[in-house]
Amino acid sequence: MRIVKYVFGLSVALLAMSSQSCTQARPENKSGHDLWLGDITAPVTAKNTEFLSKYDKELGDEGFRISKNDKGEAVIYANTEAGLMYGTYHLKRLGECGNLKLDKEIVEVPAFKYRILNHWDNPNLTVERGYAGKSLWKWEELPGTIRPEYEEYARANASIGINGTVLNNVNADPCMLTREYLEKVKVLADIFRPYNIKVYLSLNFAAPKHLAGLKTSDPLDKEVIKWWNEKVAEIYSIIPDFGGFLVKANSEGQSGPQDYGRTHADGANMIADAVKPYGGIVMWRAFVYAPESKDRAKQAVEEFKPLDGQFRDNVIIQIKNGPVDFQPREPFSPLFGQLDNTNIMAEMQITQEYLGHSNHMVYLHPMWKECLDADTYQKGEGSTVAAETLGKVHGNTDMSAIAGVTNIGDDYNWCGHPMAQANWYAFGRMAWNPELSSQQIVEEWIKQTFTSEKKFVAVVATMMLTSREACVKYEMPMGLHHTFKGPDHYGPGPWDRSSRPDWEPAYYHKAAADGVGFDRTSKTGTDAVSQYHEPLRSLYDNVETCPKELLLWFHHLPWDYKMKDGKTLWEELCYTFEDGIREARSYIGMWESVEEYVDADRYALIHEKLVRQAKDAIWWRDATMLYFQQYSKMEIPADCTPTQHTLDELRRFRLGITNYENPAIDRLPEYTLE
Ligand code: GCV
């Protein structure tokens, strides 16, 4: 282990641990201020390094200290080159954000050991739920052609502490494990390595059948086990520090061990045994549900709790933040509080599948933090989702991990909406330190990406910090969920029909003459509340104590149900949508008030998108409340924004986009803001 002391004057702002310099020109269509890093193509080199002899346990392999030497220079101490690199990026960030004070020592150690991006990118360059163009990975050009974006991507990730990336979609094409593709993956792994980023792959559980023509992919079959062992050996011979696998099994049509009467543990352990000698891990997803179930929200616990303790120690169960599917608001997944002897990690969605794709400005950190800060009460107070996934509740901190499904594509601004980059940035910062506030992170990002001008920072931070709650209000307030038009998940479609009952909005909102909402209570409902520990179980079970934000998640209530503020449920819904519409509209004026601080291109693009966001807010209200009105027979209050379309018009509207694209603004229903 090399132990490094790194000294540099504060004026030296850039570093790299890479000896490679980035000499290729940026593509012509790149704007030059694409990322928070500024000019990230500048060649940079490490300077003034010294090797120390004593390993500092507190810092581990990725932490660092920064303090001042006699000459007043900042000094970064780390055990490793990775720690040194993170320290230098940290120092750069402090400087750029005007937060650099060296009056006391700074010590930073990442909270989660594995801080991983999940790409849902396909070999044919489409990106499932990707709203920023095509895949960044140009498989057809690799391994021969190396694009400058690969290293830019690595630098951006390194600057926020990301140390792993799963390159391909969890709906995995078996071809990713062929020699041909592994040679391509190797090129990316080589580029990312100097930035302390490991590559991982999603695997297709039926690969032995697809790639080797075996009769089965049964995880207990000797030939199958042999095939995986050999495949893994081949991978590590090409990529010696390969991170491991992400697996979506027996979920949404993907193959898995249950196809052969085996369990998730049988499947995960077979792969885990294969990668174990090389230090690899397996992230096995708990995103499972079946159309027959009366309550999809309960299934992860039903399937995984009985398997607690059966998984190998290099398996981590990857759990989406909520029990259904990345909705604008869900309670935390109860599975976070149900396993005693199994490693678990959270999966957050950075790409805005359900939050307006890359047309809406929605800063997601408050949503993720709501989940991480939620108390599961598994071992009494303080068993938060963060503590559970950091391994602090059960004392297995060596396998702590967190994943984010990325919003990155080959768009000139990387994420489709210029403000969506903040979510990539925030995910990395949160994985490094889940205690950071939404405000601190967003201010850092604004200052590094735009300007430190006070007024600009204050206005834009306010817009972004309120945007997630605004989105909940204008899309699915008060615990409503999955009222989308499928399969693109962009606009509203509470009436929508599908091939599966659990893909239909009616399965979730249950709107009828007698009221609305999903009864998950213990006495009359599906008893999903009992998957939560006390005091949450009783809190959610009782309509009087259930938080308003989750009311219709847990309760089915009559339209004229009296809310605490005296309004009926129907009125409360109308006025909450109205609040969402008002907030979305207010962002336009706020943005206009800071025009002088932004370049014309970004100003215009963001303005256009904010206008559409406000129009979409009215569209959501119109569709949802006009649909519900058929059952409630109640009027939308006169002081609410008037509806602009009839229910029939909205039902006839077809967006006609795939699951791989963001809708162009001119394809969306016409709305006016006057
Ligand atoms: C990758 C949701 C999305 C799917 C996604 C799936 C998953 O159902 O709509 O596109 O598939 O989640 O997380 O596996």
Length of the chain: 674
The pLDDT > 70 percentage for the chain reads 93
Closest to 107 (Cα-Cα) out of 155, 57, 141, 71: 57
Q: Tell me, in angstroms, the distance from the centre of ligand 1 to residue 61's CA.
A: 34
The pLDDT > 90 percentage for the chain reads 85
488-527 pLDDT, tens digit each: 999 999 999 988 899 999 999 999 999 999 999 999 999 9
Quote the CA–CA distance of 365 and 302 in Å, as a whole number: 29
Instruction: With cut-offs at 50, 70 and 90, classify the pLDDT of residue 674.
Output: confident
Q: Residues 328, 476: contact at Cβ < 8 Å?
A: yes
Q: Tell me, in angstroms, the distance from the centre of ligand 1 to residue 664's CA.
A: 22
Phi first, then psi: give them for residue 8, nearest 5 degrees. -155, 155
Closest to 238 (Cα-Cα) out of 283, 282, 278, 268: 278
E-strand ranges in 333-433 read 343-349, 401-405
Does residue 3 have a pLDDT over 80? Answer: no
Active site residue 353: yes
Q: Which residues, 6 or more positions from 179, have their beta carbon under 8 angstroms from its beta carbon?
A: 234
Question: Which one from 34, 108, 295, 353 is the annotated catalytic residue?
Answer: 353
201-257 pLDDT, tens digit each: 999 999 999 999 999 999 999 999 999 999 999 999 999 999 999 999 999 999 999
The pLDDT of residue 186: 98
Active site residue 381: no
Query: Atom of ligand 1 at shortest distance to CA of 405?
Result: 13
The C-alpha R_g of the chain, in whole angstroms, comes to 25
Strands 343-349 and 315-320: parallel
Q: Residues 75, 107: contact at Cβ < 8 Å?
A: no
Question: Which one from 50, 183, 252, 435 is the annotated catalytic residue?
Answer: 252
Residue whose CB lies within 8 A of the most ligand 1 atoms, among 325, 484, 498, for a mutation test: 325
Using CA atoms, how far residue 120 sits from 77, 271, 420, 550, in Å, is 37, 21, 17, 29
382-430 pLDDT, tens digit each: 999 999 999 999 998 999 999 999 999 999 899 999 999 999 999 999 9
Quote the CA–CA distance of 240 and 60 in Å, as a whole number: 22
Using CA atoms, how far residue 135 sits from 169, 424, 479, 606, in Å, is 11, 16, 34, 23
**How many other β-carbons are positioned within 10 Å of the β-carbon of residue 58?**
9
Q: Tell me, in angstroms, the distance from the centre of ligand 1 to residue 176's CA.
A: 19
Q: Tell me, in angstroms, the distance from the centre of ligand 1 to residue 287's CA.
A: 9
Query: Atom of ligand 1 at shortest distance to CA of 487?
Result: 9
Query: Atom of ligand 1 at shortest distance to CA of 170?
Result: 1
Q: Residues 568, 561: contact at Cβ < 8 Å?
A: yes
Query: Atom of ligand 1 at shortest distance to CA of 659?
Result: 10
Q: Which pTM was predicted?
A: 0.95
24-44 pLDDT, tens digit each: 233 444 443 457 775 443 333
The pLDDT of residue 7: 42
Question: Mutual orientation of helices 421-432 and 365-373 as an angle, nearest 10°?
Answer: 30
The pLDDT of residue 5: 47
Does residue 9 have a pLDDT over 60? Answer: no
Does residue 192 have a pLDDT over 80? Answer: yes
Q: Tell me, in angstroms, the distance from the centre of ligand 1 to residue 228's CA.
A: 26
Average pLDDT over residues 84-90: 89
Closest to 357 (Cα-Cα) out of 267, 484, 227: 484
Closest-CA residue, ligand 1 atom 2, reads 325
Does residue 529 have a pLDDT over 60? Answer: yes
Closest-CA residue, ligand 1 atom 11, reads 171
The pLDDT of residue 69: 78
Q: Residue 320, SS3? A: strand
Q: Which two tokens stand for residue 286?
A: 């708990």
Q: Which of 102-106, 244-248, 609-613 has the lowest mean pLDDT?
A: 102-106
Q: Break the chain down into helix, strand, coil percent, rounded to 5.
A: 40, 10, 50
- Contact residues of ligand 1, CB 6 A cut-off: 120, 128-129, 170-171, 248, 252, 287, 325, 659
Rounded to 5 degrees, what angle do the CA atoms 370, 397, 170 make? 65
DSSP 492: B
Q: How far apart are the first and last CA of the chain?
A: 65
Q: Residues 662, 634: contact at Cβ < 8 Å?
A: no
The pLDDT of residue 50: 53
Average pLDDT over residues 142-156: 95
Mean pLDDT for all residues in the chain: 92
Quote the CA–CA distance of 567 and 560 in Å, as a whole number: 8
Q: Tell me, in angstroms, the distance from the centre of ligand 1 to residue 120's CA.
A: 9
Quote the CA–CA distance of 396 and 312 in Å, as a whole number: 13
The pLDDT of residue 10: 31
Q: Tell me, in angstroms, the distance from the centre of ligand 1 to residue 269's CA.
A: 24
Closest-CA residue, ligand 1 atom 13, reads 287
Q: Compute the Cα dihedral for 494, 497, 503, 509 and give only its sign.
A: positive
Instruction: With cut-offs at 50, 70 and 90, classify the pLDDT of residue 540.
Output: very high
Does residue 152 have a pLDDT over 70? Answer: yes
Quote the CA–CA distance of 563 and 571 in Å, as a whole number: 9
Quote the CA–CA distance of 326 and 315 in Å, as a whole number: 23
Closest-CA residue, ligand 1 atom 12, reads 325
Average pLDDT over residues 105-120: 97
362 or 79: whose pLDDT is higher?
362
Q: Compute the Cα dihedral for 8, 13, 15, 21 and give only its sign.
A: negative
Residue whose CB lies within 8 A of the most ligand 1 atoms, among 118, 122, 129, 284, for a mutation test: 129
Quote the CA–CA distance of 572 and 560 in Å, as a whole number: 10
Residue whose CB lies within 8 A of the most ligand 1 atoms, among 118, 120, 504, for a mutation test: 120
454-486 pLDDT, tens digit each: 999 999 999 999 999 999 999 999 999 999 998
Burial of residue 610 (number of CB atoms within 10 Å: 0-12, 13-18, 19+): buried
Q: Residue 335, SS3? A: helix
Q: Tell me, in angstroms, the distance from the centre of ligand 1 to residue 528's CA.
A: 22
Query: Atom of ligand 1 at shortest distance to CA of 120?
Result: 1
Query: Atom of ligand 1 at shortest distance to CA of 129?
Result: 10
The pLDDT of residue 18: 30
Query: Atom of ligand 1 at shortest distance to CA of 248?
Result: 14
Q: Tell me, in angstroms, the distance from the centre of ligand 1 to residue 187's CA.
A: 28
Q: Tell me, in angstroms, the distance from the centre of ligand 1 to residue 34's CA.
A: 28
Q: Compute the Cα dihedral for 85, 88, 92, 97 and give only its sign.
A: positive
458 or 2: whose pLDDT is higher?
458
Query: Atom of ligand 1 at shortest distance to CA of 169?
Result: 1
Q: Compute the Cα dihedral for 421, 131, 328, 603 and give only its sign.
A: positive
Residue whose CB lies within 8 A of the most ligand 1 atoms, among 118, 251, 252, for a mutation test: 252
Question: Which one from 325, 519, 571, 661 is the annotated catalytic residue?
Answer: 325
The pLDDT of residue 24: 29
Active site residue 292: no
Instruction: With cut-offs at 50, 70 and 90, classify the pLDDT of residue 52.
Output: low
